[in-house]
Amino acid sequence: MAKTLRLILGDQLNLQHSWFQTVNANTTYVLFEMQQETNYVVHHLQKVVAFFAAMRSLANTLQAQGHQVIYWQLDHPKNTQNLTENLDKILKEENFEQLEYQWPDAYRLDQQLQTFCASLDLPSKGVDSEHFITQRADVATFFGNKSYLLERFYRHWRKQTGYLMDGTNPMGGKWNYDQDNRNRLDKKAVVPKPMPLKNKVADLVALLEQEGIQTIGRIDAEHFIWPINRQQSLDLLDYFLEHCLENFGRYQDAMHSDYWLLYHARLSFAMNSKMLGPIEIIEKAIAEYERNNNITLASIEGFVRQILGWREFIRGVYWAKMPDYEQENFFEHQRDLPAFYWTGNTKMNCLSHAINQSLDYAYAHHIQRLMVTGNFALLTNTHPDAVDAWYLGIYIDAIQWVELPNTRGMSQFADGGTVATKPYISSANYIHKMSNYCKSCHYNYKAKTGDKACPFNSLYWNFLMQHEKRLKGNRRMSMMYALLNKMSAQDKEALLLQANYYLEHLEDL
């Protein structure tokens, strides 16, 4: 066999990959910590630490299994901080005869490697990362010229995989139990403590500081909470199945100021770094559902839909729509995010909680991302580039293939409706219904105008008026516009005035 160099990117930490099943003296694996990856956006400190720690751990495991591994830390003297320059150096210096890599999930890296490989005078080959259930092009092929709809794709893949199926019918007779999954946190609910993980990562924090890497957020380097190897990821999955799945569906959309984590899985980092695969997670969850009578069909279906449905759908949308997707700005919004997105320093309690917990843990759950920070960014006409940069930086699980369609598409509707059928906007009503945030807020969730009126209220109606031409034809918006049309001209005027005041004083809210 030719002397082969195999590249492993930071989000390709799949120990189960067929690459690693045999040890070969002619094969060397290479991993780089690079400024190219730490600096394309300002990341949360925990995110950079988690990826580097998990990469180091994989490299150590491979070495212990007898594989040959080259690992360049961020401060390695030969490290050019650029992926293809590093590869070029090693290929030449060590006389490799061919290069192999797993297809990257980020378009940017895919392009970079393709260009590099085309310039090489030795053979190169890309292989599947053996992680996803569907292929890159499956969404584009499945829908063709038709509108993209998660539900159709999801049902198709339920049938294909047989998950939660009764022959050709969905188990329980319904495909989707979303309606059952919209509870506010019950006062009597006993929320399990997040599984304690206590990785020590002070050396990595010091390295980032020494190399001048700019980051956001805070860290407890002695009790680092994210899994950094496959065993810890499996432990986290087991903990979720044992303690959280039972209530996952019921409280999937709930928010509460006492908890940064409710019954969510916290598995997105383990999955997006590929330490865990979606199939093993789904199958273990279904096995737990079959074993534990307390887990409802609504809970397990809600969980399976997130992974088999949303996660695969989102990835397919990314590959169907890139690179143009990165430029979409349906509403032509131009504003920047207010500074409190980086400090959490705002009188709006919901935003303060969602942002502060993101700074503390690099984590917020879906509804916090969608209906608090995302909703506010959309209602305040923020440029999708600014929103993307924030989400791509702050969350532990943010890799562009999954961040972009969720943020630009689902949350900001900047794609004009490819991912979401209508913009996800709401007034304070929704936040009040799903959380306890409003109870102790400086603002009054009931008031639309006046001194302490909740900003979400006037901004919501302002948004509807502002974009009436673009949105009126959308059938899913008809109820909202019917309500708007019932309003007197005077009320509308007062709402516009209030919203304009808030828009001009965003930094003070």
The distance of closest approach from Cβ of residue 348 to ligand FAD in the complex, given in angstroms and rounded to an integer, is 18
**Which is closer to ligand SF4, CB of 459 or CB of 477?**
459
The helix or strand, by DSSP H or E, that contains position 143, with its residue range, turns out to be: helix 138-143
Residue-by-residue DSSP string for 307-330: IIIIIHHHHHHHHHHTTGGGG--T
Rounded CA separation 411/402 (Å): 12
Q: Any contact of residue 195 with ligand FAD (CB under 6 A)?
A: no
Ranges within 299-318 binding ligand FAD (CB under 6 A): 306-307, 310-311, 314
**Which is closer to ligand SF4, CB of 370 or CB of 428?**
428
**Which is closer to ligand FAD, CB of 96 or CB of 163?**
163
Give residue for tokens 């409190």: 340
**Which is closer to ligand SF4, CB of 72 or CB of 456?**
456
**Which is closer to ligand SF4, CB of 308 or CB of 348?**
348
Which burial class, exposed, middle or buried, applies to 283 when counting CB atoms under 10 A from its CB (0-12, 13-18, 19+)? Answer: middle
The distance of closest approach from Cβ of residue 426 to ligand FAD in the complex, given in angstroms and rounded to an integer, is 13
Three-state DSSP class for residue 76: coil
Name which of ligand SF4, ligand FAD, none residue 441 binds, using a CB cut-off of 5 to 8 Å depending on partner kind.
ligand SF4
Three-state DSSP class for residue 339: helix
Name which of ligand SF4, ligand FAD, none residue 350 binds, using a CB cut-off of 5 to 8 Å depending on partner kind.
ligand SF4
Contacts of 24 (CB under 8 A, 6+ apart): 1, 4
The distance of closest approach from Cβ of residue 121 to ligand SF4 in the complex, given in angstroms and rounded to an integer, is 60
In this structure, what token pair is assigned to residue 323?
A: 């690179």
Ranges within 246-275 binding ligand FAD (CB under 6 A): 264-268, 271-272
Name which of ligand FAD, ligand SF4, none residue 318 binds, using a CB cut-off of 5 to 8 Å depending on partner kind.
none
Rounded CA separation 119/111 (Å): 13
Ranges within 402-461 binding ligand FAD (CB under 6 A): 402-403, 406-407, 410-411
Rounded CA separation 228/273 (Å): 10
Q: Which stretch binds ligand FAD (CB under 6 A): 81-89, 361-369, 428-436, 465-473?
A: 361-369
The distance of closest approach from Cβ of residue 394 to ligand FAD in the complex, given in angstroms and rounded to an integer, is 9
Contacts of 9 (CB under 8 A, 6+ apart): 101, 102, 104, 109
The distance of closest approach from Cβ of residue 430 to ligand SF4 in the complex, given in angstroms and rounded to an integer, is 8
Rounded CA separation 206/221 (Å): 10
**Which is closer to ligand FAD, CB of 34 or CB of 133?**
133
Name which of ligand FAD, ligand SF4, none residue 456 binds, using a CB cut-off of 5 to 8 Å depending on partner kind.
ligand SF4
In this structure, what token pair is assigned to residue 63?
A: 């070495």
In this structure, what token pair is assigned to residue 180?
A: 């059952």
Contacts of 358 (CB under 8 A, 6+ apart): 44, 217, 364, 373, 394, 395
Name which of ligand FAD, ligand SF4, none residue 402 binds, using a CB cut-off of 5 to 8 Å depending on partner kind.
ligand FAD
Task: Show the site string, 368-397: x = touches ligand FAD by CB under 6 A, - = not.
Answer: -xx---x----------------x---x-x
Strand partners, 99: 5, 124
Name which of ligand FAD, ligand SF4, none residue 398 binds, using a CB cut-off of 5 to 8 Å depending on partner kind.
ligand FAD
Three-state DSSP class for residue 88: helix
Residue type for 64, please? A
Rounded CA separation 272/281 (Å): 13
**Which is closer to ligand SF4, CB of 234 or CB of 447?**
447
Strand partners, 224: 199
**Which is closer to ligand FAD, CB of 268 or CB of 427?**
268
Per CB under 6 A, residues contacting ligand FAD are 264-268, 271-272, 306-307, 310-311, 314, 365-366, 369-370, 374, 391, 395, 397-398, 402-403, 406-407, 410-411
